[in-house]
Amino acid sequence: MTAINPANPTVHPELVSSFEALSTDQKLALLWYIYTEMGKSITPAAPGASTASPALAEGLFQQVLEMSHEEQLQIQRDIIEKKNVPVSREYGSLSHTTKLLFWYLLAQGMERSEVIPMPEDYQLEAQASQCLTQLQALDYSEQITVLREFVAPMGNESTEV
């Protein structure tokens, strides 16, 4: 579990805890739903954020694009599970806002079928659906903060190979 920075406490710890309790694939699905259901409000924050490093997010995204769909799915799982693999380590070294931008780029890639898409008939499980509903009920700045808290602890920050 990631420690909470006292200077920037978790806005909605119960929502972050609910997200953390989801399975890897439910986390992936929820991130997809967030960007598709709430995309018009969430997406402007990631690309234009002053602390985002678009070149780093784009570089990591390009690595994902070069993979097969099966490899793309596995690398997303590896990032969520903090596996000690190159892409997960690279993701782990990004700023929180750049991580948010990376997931935004993945969602765009999914919409363009460049990244493995969600199955058309996929349904969120109850707990993930509840997370989405709770997130949608927050105001814009809280949504961005909570979403950033969802993606920040992902990836492997180890420098050991």
Convert the pLDDT of each residue in 60-95 to its tens digit.
999 999 999 999 999 999 999 999 999 999 999 999
Evaluate if residue 2 carries a pLDDT over 50.
Answer: no
Residue type (1 letter), 154: M
Whole-angstrom Cα distance, residue 111 to residue 125?
A: 21
The pTM score is: 0.86
CB 125 within 8 A of CB 61: no
Helical pair 140-151 and 126-136, crossing angle rounded to 10 deg: 140
Provide the pLDDT for residue 158: 80
Evaluate if residue 153 carries a pLDDT over 70.
Answer: yes
Share of the chain above pLDDT 70, in %: 84
Provide the pLDDT for residue 141: 85
Residue type (1 letter), 118: M
Q: Shortest CA distance to 60 belongs to which of 28, 14, 116, 106?
A: 106
Q: What is the arithmetic mean of pLDDT over 6-33?
A: 86
Homologous superfamily of the 13-151 domain (CATH): Orange carotenoid-binding protein, N-terminal domain (1.10.2090.10)
Evaluate if residue 161 carries a pLDDT over 80.
Answer: no
CB 64 within 8 A of CB 87: yes
Angle at 112 between CA 148 and CA 33, to 5 degrees: 40
Domain definitions of the chain by residue range: 13-151
Residue given tokens 């599970």 in the structure block: 81
- For the chain, the average pLDDT equals 86
